[in-house]
Amino acid sequence: MGGQARLLVVLVAAALIALAVWTWLPPTETTQDAIKDSIVCFETVNVIAWPEGHYGEETLSPDLQDELRSTWQVTLGEVAEGEALRTQRDFDPVRRLIIARRRQSREVVVASGGRVVLFDVRRRTLRGEVIVRAAVVSWYETGAWDAERQQLVGVRRVEETSCPIFDYAMRERGDSWKVVARKAPDGGPFFYDVWTGESGTGP
């Protein structure tokens, strides 16, 4: 083998080693925080709060429903694309919100959100995706509408005690990260116990 051929082999080997190292190199803390924010938004976007100023109403006007759906669609599009976006588009969070209010007319969902309780960067892919394993615990706040006093009373916060663990494929788009796919880890489903901090196969 000539000198040029040996040099080429060395360069190719070095490139492959560098690529292998890169695929397992974790993103910066700032990037990880951005990924967490997108995952939380993706997991909680379908829980919509009853609009402030309408707490005493047991249903919402068609125009207000359309406005809520439009906001939901925009928010979803900001944090998801591809398969992940398609799996969420058939859901109607506004309809679910109204049905829930009809079933419990005095109970009003006034806020919702979530937080990451488990997060592990798995690897990068040659497509530029970052694969992470995460669990998000969701919470919401409800209050009872007091018609006589025209105000909410007894506002309380409810948080899940167990939440599913997923593997997320994340892709960078400009200044943000989007969920492109979500699936249960091999051998799952697995769940994270918020109280004990342990993972297992049952909720």
- Domains and their CATH numbers in the chain: 28-200 (3.10.450)
All residues at 6 or more sequence positions from 180 whose CB lies less than 8 Å from its CB, including other chains: 80, 81, 82, 83, 84, 129, 169, 170, 171
Instruction: Reply yes or no on whether the pLDDT at 181 is more than 50.
Output: yes
- Confidence label for 203 from pLDDT (cuts 50, 70 and 90): low
Q: What is the pLDDT of residues 48-69, one digit of tens each?
A: 999 999 999 989 999 999 999 9
Comparing C-alpha atoms, which of 60, 59, 91, 55 is closest to residue 75? 91
Are residues 154 and 143 in contact, defined by beta-carbon separation less than 8 angstroms? yes
For the full predicted model, state whether its pTM sits above 0.85: no
- What single-letter DSSP state applies at residue 121? E
Between CA 195 and CA 172, with CA 162 as vertex, the angle to 5 degrees is 110
Q: What is the pLDDT of residues 95-113, one digit of tens each?
A: 999 999 998 888 899 999 9
